[in-house]
Amino acid sequence: MFKIVDAKTAAEKINDGDTLAIGGAGAGHAVPDTLLRALGERFKTTGHPKKITSVHPCGVGDNDQRGLNHIALEGLIDTDFGGFWGNAPKMVQLARENKIKGYNFPQGILSHLMRASASKKPGVISKVGLNTFVDPRIEGGKINQVTKKDHVQVMAIDDEEYLFYKSFKIDVAFIRGTSIDSEGNITMEEEVGSFAMFSIAQAAKTNGGIVIAQVKNVVDGNCDPGRVKIPGFLVDYVVVEPNQEMTFLSKFDPALVKRDAPYTPEELPLEGPKRIIMRRAALELKKGAFVNLGYGMSDGVPIIAQQENILDELTFMIEQGASAGIPTTGLNFGAMYNPSSIVDDGYQFDFFQGGGLDIAYLGFAQIDKNGNVNSSRFGNVLTGCGGFIDISQNAKKVVFTGTFAVKSTQNISEKGVEITHPGKFKKFVDAVEQITFSGRFAMEKGQEVFYVTERAVFKLTKGGLELIELAPLVDLQKDVLDMMDFEPLISKELKSIDSRIYKNEYLNLKETFS
């Protein structure tokens, strides 16, 4: 039977050198924040536990103080395996200063590694990560100089290359749910996702470890078996947090977990370059498509879909597990308004890695002459890949969206784009600093790849990047070619970007779909 304890007591259950797996994602999405805070406070007070290994398939934090930032303490963390690092700047700082060892692996791979650990399999075999910075022939997912041990290796099956990711022995699981019944069964009626909670809990138990859950409520009697997300026999200790928030930005919003609950659309104005980039990107949508969106620029695509009244013609899917709703934006990204389903993220990634997505919209920091994309690390900025690699390597069509250059200025009118300052830094470079997406691998797999900016649209070809569209009023030489470190191919049929995207009227996508 489980025991209800306070957070301080729960934190005392972790021993020096343990491997701790942490559920949840992003800015408080089912994040066991009370447990993480208690662990950090214990270390500050006692100096224990020392040198633990933390594993989190998703990013966990508020870009400031919460989530993993609670435990980003020198001496507490020895090694961190993360799918996304950008939510935890304090952990990033430790890695940059070589005070911890760190790895960045694809989110889907880490979720599947939780399953592998639960079943005591040696690891996960996948093509995800080949020819990217995760490939051991490039960086092996290592993020700093003190990280030496290889956790990924190349192997061949029937003369085809795969990556083998080694499994973990999980000692402690930090998970979260909404309610726990008299038998310890946990439900997640107020959680925007279930993530890898079940697999993390199983992994701890089968490896002889313990499961510590944070919940909001203790309910009398037994809940319906079909609602159980974490069976009670897996749970050892429970910390009740009655003030548990749904996310770091929301106490509770029923629209994030119910199909028919009313909600107020987020006030995310599409203006300036983002508006025309998103409108041009939306022209790639097709009726009936399964669509994924990345964090940042591409979160404007659902807004265009709403404006065009085509939401019922598409199925939006996010890697955190929700489908067929309206993805949230900004720091709250990773949830959906009015989803039709919420599944464990490992199952969502099965579909993504299997090629189920028709189109993925993703951002970029750098693009090079071979069509490689860097979205994970540039200069001293480490964000990590999250689900980017799982998604970008396997979607049938990938549309990368972003501004053409850093800190450029322009006048946008119904006539087109007049560039008033070409930009302070180039994004189209000779070679990206880190390969998050491999152009060559995409060509080998036959993917359709576009790069959409406010002043030009490119397509990936076997010969490299090809310029296929130019914004009206943009000067090809001065505004585009002079702001690139390489000379792209230029289509013999180079045309102007569709003039509709600049006008203050609908694109009439509904009519196009019909």
Q: What percent of the chain shows pLDDT beyond 90?
A: 94
Residue 333: what pLDDT?
87
For residue 371, report the phi and psi dihedrals to the nearest 5 degrees. Answer: 85, 5
Q: Are residues 8 and 154 in the same domain?
A: yes
Question: What number is the average pLDDT over the span 327-335?
Answer: 86
Q: Is position 258 within any domain?
A: no
| Of the residues 240, 256, 282, the one at which a domain ends | 240
Q: Is position 256 within any domain?
A: no
Q: Is position 254 within any domain?
A: no
Place of tokens 């995409």: 442
For residue 232, report the phi and psi dihedrals to the nearest 5 degrees. Answer: -60, -30
Angle ∠(393,442,476) on CA atoms, nearest 5: 115
pLDDT over threshold 80, residue 287 = yes
Q: State how far the Cα of 60 lies from the Cα of 82, in Å rounded to an integer.
A: 9
Q: To the nearest whole number, what is the mean pLDDT of the chain?
A: 96
Residue 421: what pLDDT?
95
Q: Is position 255 within any domain?
A: no
Q: What percent of the chain shows pLDDT beyond 70?
A: 99
Three-class DSSP category at 230: strand
Q: Are residues 285 and 225 in the same domain?
A: no
Q: Is position 229 within any domain?
A: yes
**Sequence-distant contacts of 504-508: CB under 8 A, at least 24 apart:** 504/414, 506/307, 506/308, 507/279, 507/282, 507/283, 507/304, 507/308, 508/308
| Number of domains the chain is built from | 2
Residue 349: what pLDDT?
98
Residue 267: what pLDDT?
63
- What is the token pair recorded at 288? 């009936």
pLDDT digits (tens, 9 = 90+) for 449-475: 999 999 999 999 999 999 999 999 999
| Of the residues 240, 258, 282, the one at which a domain ends | 240
Q: Is position 136 within any domain?
A: yes
Q: Verify whether residue 319 is a known catalytic residue.
A: yes
Spot the catalytic one: 319, 454, 466, 469: 319
| Beta strand spans in 407-463 (E) | 409-413, 416-421, 425-426, 428-429, 448-452, 456-461
Q: Is position 245 within any domain?
A: no
Q: Are residues 334 and 186 in the same domain?
A: no
Q: Are residues 208 and 327 in the same domain?
A: no
| Of the residues 199, 219, 240, the one at which a domain ends | 240
- Beta carbons within 8 Å of 234's beta carbon, 6+ residues apart: 184, 201, 202, 204, 205, 211
Residue 295: what pLDDT?
84
Q: Are residues 15 and 108 in the same domain?
A: yes
Q: State how far the Cα of 365 lies from the Cα of 245, in Å rounded to an integer.
A: 33
Cα separations (Å) of 217 from 220, 238, 246?
10, 10, 13
Q: Are residues 487 and 425 in the same domain?
A: yes
Q: Are residues 407 and 465 in the same domain?
A: yes
Domain carrying residue 213: 3-240
Q: Is position 246 within any domain?
A: no
Domain of 307: which CATH number? Answer: 3.40.1080.10
Q: Are residues 279 and 412 in the same domain?
A: yes
Q: Are residues 367 and 442 in the same domain?
A: yes
Q: State how far the Cα of 28 lies from the Cα of 172, in Å rounded to an integer.
A: 20
Global pTM value: 0.96
pLDDT over threshold 90, residue 250 = no
pLDDT digits (tens, 9 = 90+) for 395-450: 999 999 999 999 999 999 999 999 999 999 999 999 999 999 999 999 999 999 99
Residue 380: what pLDDT?
85
Q: Are residues 150 and 199 in the same domain?
A: yes
CB atoms near residue 23 (< 10 Å): 31
Name the band, by pLDDT with cuts 50, 70 and 90, for residue 331: confident
Q: Are residues 288 and 177 in the same domain?
A: no
Q: Are residues 219 and 309 in the same domain?
A: no
- Beta carbons within 8 Å of 274's beta carbon, 6+ residues apart: 297, 300
pLDDT over threshold 80, residue 268 = no
84 close to 59: Cβ distance less than 8 angstroms:
yes
